[in-house]
Amino acid sequence: MLAGKDGRVTQHYKIANIVATEGAHLANFDEAKFAHLQALSPDERADIAFVMDARDMSAALKDVRRLGLELQVIYHSHPHSPARPSLTDIKIASEFESTRGILNLPEPLHLIISLEKKDAPEANAFRIVNGTVTRVSYQTL
């Protein structure tokens, strides 16, 4: 997650991916998501599926508030696919809308980093609202 103020990102929080350690337990909580993970081969699962460590996420959000900043960007990488949201990403972003309401968070942009072309990684940012994806431009300072 990236945080900052007035559209300018100043903080980076790395959130652990707990698929490898907790993936098997996910069935208890969310069968649909678990079935989705099971549909992937073990390699794919290790490579492309992610579940944020809820503890890391909360700690990051707490720090963002402490610093008087706002959550601005949620990012993840696509090791083998293009830098655009997958159907799953769109669904997840929509689910996050309700969490956002509960926690009074601003709408984040979604940054996707594609490592498909090893020598030319690509990163695109998107707004995802009500299932509609709009690409947005950003600048690296």
Partner 1 sequence: MVKVRIPTPLRTLTGGKSEVEAPASDIQSLIESLNGQFPGLKDRVCDDNGEIRRFVNIYLNEEDIRFLQGKRTSVKDGDEVSIVPAIAGGVHPGDA
**Which residues bind to Zn ion, rule: CB under 5 A?**
86, 89
Q: How far is the CB of 83 from partner 1 (least distance, A)?
A: 11
**Cα–Cα dist 120/118, whole Å:** 6
**Cα–Cα dist 25/31, whole Å:** 10
Residue indicated by tokens 């090791």: 79
Of 96, 91, 83, 80, the C-alpha closest to 138 is: 83
What does 97 interact with, of partner 1, Zn ion, none (CB < 5 to 8 A by kind)?
none
* Among positions 4, 13, 57, 113, the unique one binding partner 1 when judged by CB under 8 A: 57
Give the pair of three-digit tokens for residue 92.
Answer: 């997840």
Q: Is 8 in the site for partner 1 (CB under 8 A)?
A: no
Q: Is 74 in the site for partner 1 (CB under 8 A)?
A: yes
DSSP code for 120: S
Contact residues for 135 (Cβ-Cβ < 8 A; gap 6+): 84, 124, 125, 126
Q: Is 33 in the site for partner 1 (CB under 8 A)?
A: yes
Positive/negative CA dihedral, 82, 37, 46, 44: negative
Q: How far is the CB of 139 from partner 1 (least distance, A)?
A: 25
Q: How far is the CB of 46 from Zn ion (least distance, A)?
A: 15
Nearer to partner 1, 28 or 140 (CB): 28
Interface ranges with partner 1 (CB under 8 A):
18-19, 21-22, 25-26, 28-33, 36-37, 39-40, 44-45, 48-55, 57-59, 61-62, 74, 76, 78, 80-82, 86-89, 92, 95-96, 98-99, 102-104
